[in-house]
Amino acid sequence: MALINTTTTGVLGTTIFGDASGVLTVQQNGVTLGIFGNQPAFSAYATATQSISNSTATKVVYDTEDFDTNSNFASNRFTPTVAGYYQINAGLFCAGSATGGNILSLFKTGSEYVQLTRTLLSNAFNVFSTGSCLVYCNGSTDYLEIFTTQNSGSTLNMGNGAKAGCWFNGCLLIRSA
């Protein structure tokens, strides 16, 4: 890391470092407060509905990318190569055609990390499940996927064949030291 600018104010001891790729590191008295620059971000969505079997956790399929700034999204999976804290968001449409419920979950490295939302299904109206969370990823082996589980008693179609009906996006908020 090449030192590009150093500023010290009183006893605060604040230092800013920058490297050739434009990444800035802010330290205070030797403690890293933040690392900024080249923040990975992605947005993907489904252009078709997906059949979801009853009582089976099913990975949601995203066949189209809006953007993927660091080439970390592929095969319905976000694999961040920068360690840090990520804001992750997802949404999934379900036509009102059954009773029971639907769970939209974020899986981290193959296991359920958090249930983003639980939604009751109804014949009377369509439902849209959305959720978000903050998750730490190590930048080497962690990956993130969205799964859904429904218990209507039969197979249901999720998504509505449009970007607004099934989406998954996220971005790095802050790198870890």
pTM: 0.82
Residue 3 has pLDDT above 60, yes or no: no
Contact 94, 152 (CB under 8 A): no
Nearest residue to 176 (alpha-carbon basis) of 35, 46, 49, 40: 35
For residue 159, the SS3 value is coil
pLDDT at 175: 84
Distance in angstroms between the alpha carbons of the first and the last residue of the chain: 13
Count CB-CB contacts under 10 A for residue 81: 12
On the CB side of 36, CA atoms within 13 Å amount to 7
Per residue in 79-110, pLDDT (tens digit) is 999 999 999 999 999 877 768 899 999 999 99
pLDDT tens string 43-71: 999 999 999 999 999 999 999 999 999 99
Model confidence over 24-40: pLDDT tens digits?
Answer: 677 777 777 666 666 89
pLDDT tens-place string over residues 144-165: 999 999 998 889 889 988 888 9
Q: In the CATH hierarchy, which fold is given to the domain comprising 41-175? A: Jelly Rolls (2.60.120)
- Residue ranges of the domains in the chain? 5-36, 41-175
> For residue 2, how many other CB atoms are within 10 A of its CB?
7
